[in-house]
Structure 1
Amino acid sequence: MLHAAGLIDPAGFSTVPFLPLGIPEFIANALWSAVFGVLMAWLLRVAPDRSSPWIGALVFGGIVLTAVGAFVIDPARGIWPAGNMLPRLAPGFIANAIWGWGALVFMRAFIASSESH
């Protein structure tokens, strides 16, 4: 939907090689999502007996994933932060915040409860 609205360039499931690894972008995105999902679950202490940190998931996704993309992944690809980055980072922040919320939804849905049924 973001691609159709003209807010982001790439369409979903891109098979363009992800630099510097050289694997298709959609596989690299899945691997990075898994790494960040585990990190988020650990940092936010996601557990069945705790309340869900919805705001923390939105903030983690929006800030951490956007910062890593802008200051780690992009420089590894040769794209350096410069000038007014807000127009480039704002759609990524929104998409990544939604990723954080969605990841928490799935974590809570599939996490094992300690109660016996």
Structure 2
Amino acid sequence: MLRICLFFVAGLLAVPFFHQPVLGLLNALAIVPVAPFNLSPTLPFGVPSLVSASFWGGIWAVIMLLVLRWEPSKPQPWIKALLFGGIALTAVALVIVFPLKGMGFDVAKLPGRMLIGFLVNAAWGVGTLIFARSLFAR
């Protein structure tokens, strides 16, 4: 149970320290219109967007822990974490989250959204392993 909790914390922290800075870089380069560290309330509970994203980062970290069967004593699966974040999280965002938020499934925008999603979510995956390794070292 402690393992799951620590991985949740690692995924939660990876959002503000890895996911959001990459989003900020893409925003600064005018690639995406979405600014990082958004504190506007989300539906249905009115939780700030950054807090919601961090919570879901923790949930996804637990899923990644189970899928990758991560063990602190084994070599770090950096590429697997990068691909898990970049592919799994992006696919769920494009197929489930965007339509639920009324953003639709626009085929014309799909390649760009896939690339942007891959970059920010892959950063989250690697960041989660960095935090997990730090937390488990203690």
Give the TM-score range, shorter chain.
Answer: 0.7 to 0.9
Q: Distance in 2 between matches of 1:88 and 1:49?
A: 36
Whose helix fraction is larger, Structure 1's or Structure 2's?
A: 2
Aligned position for 2:75: 51
> 3-state SS of the aligned residue for 1:42?
helix
Structure 1 gaps, min length 5: none
Structure 2 gaps, min length 5: 1-24
TM-score by length of 2: 0.74
> Quick check: which has more Rg, 1 or 2?
1
Deviation, 1:21, is 4.3
Moved over 4 A (4+): none
Selected match of 1:95 from 115, 120, 127: 120
Q: Distance in 1 between matches of 2:102 and 2:48?
A: 18
Aligned position for 2:20: none
Mapped contact 1:44–1:56 kept (Cα < 8 A)? yes
Report the AA paired with residue 16 of structure 1.
S
Report the AA paired with residue 111 of structure 2.
L
> What is the root-mean-square deviation of aligned Cα atoms in Å?
1.6
Q: Which has the higher contact order (CA 8 A, sep 6+)?
A: 2
Between the aligned residues of both structures, percent identity stands at: 37
Aligned position for 2:43: 19
Number of equivalences:
113
Aligned position for 2:55: 31
TM-score by length of 1: 0.86
